[in-house]
A and B are shown apart, each in its own frame.
Chain A
Amino acid sequence: MDLFFYLGPIILMLLLLGFVTYAILFERKVIGWIQNRPGPNQVGPWGLFQTIADVAKLLLKEDIVPGKADRSLFKLAPVIAFVPAFAVLAVIPFTDSWQFGDFAVGLLYYIAISSITIIGILTGAWASNNKYSLLGGMRSAAQMISYEIPLVLSVIGIVMTTGSLDLNDIVLAQKKVWFIVPQFLAFLIFFIASLAELNRTPFDLPEAESELVAGYHVEYTGFRFAFFMLAEYVYVFAMASLTTCLFLGGWLPLFGLTMIPGILWFLLKFSLVVFSLFWIRATMPRLRVDQLMQFAWKVLLPLSLLNIFLTAIFKEIPVLSSFY
């Protein structure tokens, strides 16, 4: 075991905390600009220390556990929600050499581990012994499991094309053309479903401020609440990385511009995905809960099954088969 094995993940974690800090600021700035206002601009120049101040505030807040709550589960829940969010990053190939665990089943690992977070959310919701949080947690779980099905099924087209679950092979298979072109339907399904998995607007019903107060984490204060939020933003990082690897060619350069290093290409595409997430949040209104579940089962699921057969059919057509 070399030094990279131990230090690499620690460095990644520090980078991740930096990313989360500035992703939150960037999100608020972008939404501010879209709504024609400056966004946070008081703490530090250009509001640069706003999130740091927020985190410090959360750290200094009293930690309240409601009297009726299930104490041990209540304290455990944020950890259960956070650990898988970080653990999925082990398989993401940032460049051809920057990857922590080169798993032959990388994609399957990501999908399997990421669903554990639902258990953390349900645990927190139930342990709070609060009506709002219980209903919010149940809604959250129903939404996340419903959208997981189209998410998982939509990438099967890519797996059929690559013949591998290794994310490295999937990226390298996109040398000729990125999968967003031949698998455009899959990309649409994947992107919509990932918005729902991330609990982001227009799918932020679990948090729906105006109807459920705050959803599953209504009883959480201080840093325990912060860990639910952290898990959410780490998933933004992970999901944007996964989207980049699956559909946007990962670290592969565009137009043969190989003098720009792969990590910059990765960051560029990754930032584009993250920006799109913020952009959609500022643009779209929240769905109604009845529309939400029907959309997953009646629209996205049949479409993702259709995509599997379309891929199989395109493999048979001589002109197209080189792309599939």
Chain B
Amino acid sequence: MELEASFLTIAWFIALGILLPVAALTVGKWLRPNKPSSRKAITYESGVDPTGEGWVQFHVRYYLFALLFVIFDVETIFLYPWAVAYDSLRATLGVWVLYEMIIFIGLLVLGLAYAWKKKVLKWE
């Protein structure tokens, strides 16, 4: 299939994906009751009156995991083309194609080991 047709297919899938919730919620609007009250609009907090804001502070470690994720996700972007071309590169460049990747991954694994040692990966 040519490229434009494939993109059109995906566009149609996304359009349908938006259409279904919109249609279902519109139909739901005609069917469901709507009796708003101030009690119903209170934020849920196990049945007691909520204290303070809902947007509370959360632990900084989430950012550390996000950083690790970005590093390794970018790594995979480099790994995929390498993996696709592996056989042809192996035929022309020899085992060097593997050594290069060992060096690249090795550097990142070093970073992971450092994070590990610094107890970033530990969740308390």
A244 CB within 8 Å of chain B: no
Closest Cβ of chain A to B28, distance in Å, is: 5
- How far, in whole Å, are A166 and B37 apart by their CA atoms in the complex? 53
CB <8 Å contact, A60 and B31: yes
Pick from A68, A83, A102, A301: contact of B18, CB under 8 Å: A83
Expressed in whole angstroms, the Cα–Cα distance for A82 and B45 within the complex equals 27
- Give every chain A residue within 8 A of B38 (Cβ-Cβ): 67
Q: Do residues A138 and B62 form an inter-chain contact, with CB atoms below 8 A?
A: yes
Instruction: Determine if A159 and B80 form an interchain contact, defined as CB atoms under 8 angstroms apart.
Output: yes
Interface size on A, residues (CB 8 A): 80
The answer to whether A301 and B58 have CB atoms under 8 Å apart is no
Complex: how many Å from CA A63 to CA B42? 14
Could you tell me if B14 and A5 are in contact, using CB atoms closer than 8 angstroms? no
* Structural contact, B10 and A131, CB atoms closer than 8 A: no
B32-57 interface bits toward A, Cβ cutoff 8 Å, 1 = contact, 0 = none: 11111010111111100010011110
* Segment of A141-149, A176-184, A191-199, A245-253 engaged in the interface with chain B: A141-149
The majority secondary structure among interface residues of chain A is helix
Interface string of B77-109 (1 = CB under 8 A from A): 001100111111010000100100110010001
Interface residue from A62, A102, A219, A292 paired with B33 (Cβ < 8 Å): A62
Q: Are B17 and A145 in contact (CB under 8 A)?
A: no
Q: Which residue of A lies closest to B95 (CB)?
A: A316
Q: What are the interface flags for B100-122 relative to A under an 8 Å C-beta threshold, 1 for contact and 0 otherwise?
A: 01100100010010001000011
B123 touches A293 (CB 8 A): yes
Q: Are B79 and A297 in contact (CB under 8 A)?
A: no
Given the interface pairs A5-B12, A82-B17, A222-B32, the reply to whether A138 lies near B58 with Cβ below 8 Å is yes
**Given the interface contacts A163-B86, A294-B121, does A68 sit within 8 Å of B43 by beta carbon?**
yes
A297 touching B28 in the complex, CB below 8 Å, given contacts A130-B44, A148-B73: no
Chain A residues within an 8 Å CB radius of B18: 79, 83
CA distance A67 to B113 in the complex (A): 46
Partner among A9, A64, A219, A294 whose Cβ is within 8 Å of the Cβ of B123: A294
Among B21, B28, B44, B56, the one with the most A-chain Cβ atoms within 10 Å of its Cβ is: B21
Quick one: which of B4-30 are within 8 Å of A by CB? 5-6, 8-10, 12-14, 16-18, 20-22, 24-25, 27-29
Q: In the complex, how many residue pairs between chain A and chain B have their CB atoms under 8 Å apart?
A: 203
Residues from chain A with Cβ under 8 Å of B73 in the complex: 145, 148-149, 152
**Chain A residues with Cβ under 8 A from B1's Cβ?**
101-102
List the B side residues contacting A309 at CB < 8 Å.
98, 102
A87 to B121, CA, bound (A): 33
Select A66's contact among B17, B44, B84, beta carbons within 8 Å.
Answer: B44
**How far, in angstroms, from A14 to B65 measured CA to CA in the complex?**
38
A residues in contact with B65, CB < 8 Å: 142, 145-146, 293
A1 at the interface (CB under 8 A from B): yes
Give chain A residues whose Cβ lies under 8 Å from the Cβ of B31.
59-60
- Interfacial residues of chain A within 122-165, with CB under 8 A of chain B in the complex: 126, 128-135, 138, 141-142, 145-146, 148-149, 152-153, 156, 159-160, 163-165
Contact of B109 with A101 in the complex, beta carbons under 8 Å: no
Does B13 lie within 8 Å of A66, measured CB to CB? no
Known: A61-B32, A134-B55, A156-B80. A10 touches B66 (CB 8 A): no
Given A1-B5, A59-B31, A294-B122, 7 extra CB contacts under 8 A:
A9-B16, A78-B21, A79-B18, A86-B14, A103-B6, A213-B44, A309-B102
**5 sample A-B contacts, Cβ–Cβ < 8 Å, listed by A number:** A9-B13, A65-B41, A79-B22, A89-B13, A163-B87
